[in-house]
Amino acid sequence: MRTSNPTLSEETFEKFARQGHFTNVAADRMTIDGTANKTGILLLLAVIAASFTWHMILQPGGAGIAVPIALGGFLGGFILSLVMIFRPSASPVTAPIYAILEGLFLGAVSAIVNEVKPGIVPQAVVLTFGVMGLMLLAYRARIIRATEKMWLGITAATASVCLFYLVLAFGRAFHADWGFFMWNPTPISIGISLVVVAIAALNLVLDFGLIEDGADRGAPKFMEWYGAFSLMVTLVWLYLEILRLLAKLNRR
């Protein structure tokens, strides 16, 4: 069982197995319910933080303060994610901080987009959680299975998306006009967004599978926070891609 999410992988659990962290003591084991509860906590912290920068953006002159805070949140969240990848045992402390920092970033981005297209953010939020719910139901019903072939396909697709965005960022640095791929409401651009949203959604299935696998194998308790953090990474990506897709559709 693997996932293309860089924060959560089979290698993470293999490392703990080698270090003897797996346990049969129920109180010290990672559980699916515990991971779900901690995911809820992280989402709540992100929403509270997002409401702060959201309201700040709406205040006269508030953007001058909110935007630097949001950028700081993005960079801080990225640094903390690297810390957790290399030291998952720190996640009970760093995961809540990560959620707050990401919330600051998402709140500002959402407010700016919503100013241009009113009502688009609630739609993106509902669709994000709707997609997550559908993926969870499909996984629990075993309609979608996290098989080796699926892992290979989703990993390759996710890597291709990352490479695509890196090429666009590289071109932008050299003033290449490739923005039509990102925001212009052309059929090709909308099709690309639909594909990326589908890839992000399928990554959730792989994350569910690996979290279940870790719980079954007796991963240490702190991995509940790490699993919740990993789900947050995928959900943030999914939300931003859905927001981009809705922005394109609204422009049409």
Domain that includes residue 218, residue range: 10-251
- Residue 35 belongs to some domain of the structure: yes
Question: Dihedrals φ, ψ of 29, to 5°?
Answer: -95, 150
Q: For tokens 């309609």, what's the residue?
A: 143
- Residue 189 belongs to some domain of the structure: yes
Q: Is the pTM of this model over 0.85?
A: no
Q: Please give the pLDDT value at position 10.
A: 58
| C-alpha–C-alpha distance, residues 69 and 72, integer Å | 5
The total number of structural domains that make up the chain? 1
- For the record, the structure tokens of 104 come out as 């600051």
DSSP, collapsed to helix, strand or coil, labels residue 71 as helix
- Residue 5 belongs to some domain of the structure: no
- Residue 19 belongs to some domain of the structure: yes
Mention every residue, 6+ apart, whose C-beta is less than 8 A from residue 35.
Answer: 211, 215, 223, 224, 227, 228, 231
pLDDT digits (tens, 9 = 90+) for 56-112: 998 888 888 899 999 999 999 999 999 998 888 899 999 999 999 999 999 999 999
**Amino acid sitting at position 149:** K
**pLDDT tens for the 252 residues of the chain, in order:** 444 455 555 566 566 555 555 556 666 789 999 999 999 999 999 999 999 999 999 888 888 889 999 999 999 999 999 999 888 889 999 999 999 999 999 999 999 999 888 899 999 999 999 999 999 998 888 888 777 777 788 888 888 888 887 877 776 666 665 655 566 777 888 888 899 999 999 999 888 888 888 888 888 888 899 999 999 999 999 999 999 999 888 876
- Residue 40 belongs to some domain of the structure: yes
Q: In DSSP terms, which residues pair with 10 in a beta bridge?
A: none
**Amino acid sitting at position 234:** T
Residue 225 Cα to chain centre, angstroms: 14
What's the burial of 22, exposed, middle or buried (CB within 10 Å: 0-12/13-18/19+)?
A: middle
- Residue 109 belongs to some domain of the structure: yes
- Residue 3 belongs to some domain of the structure: no
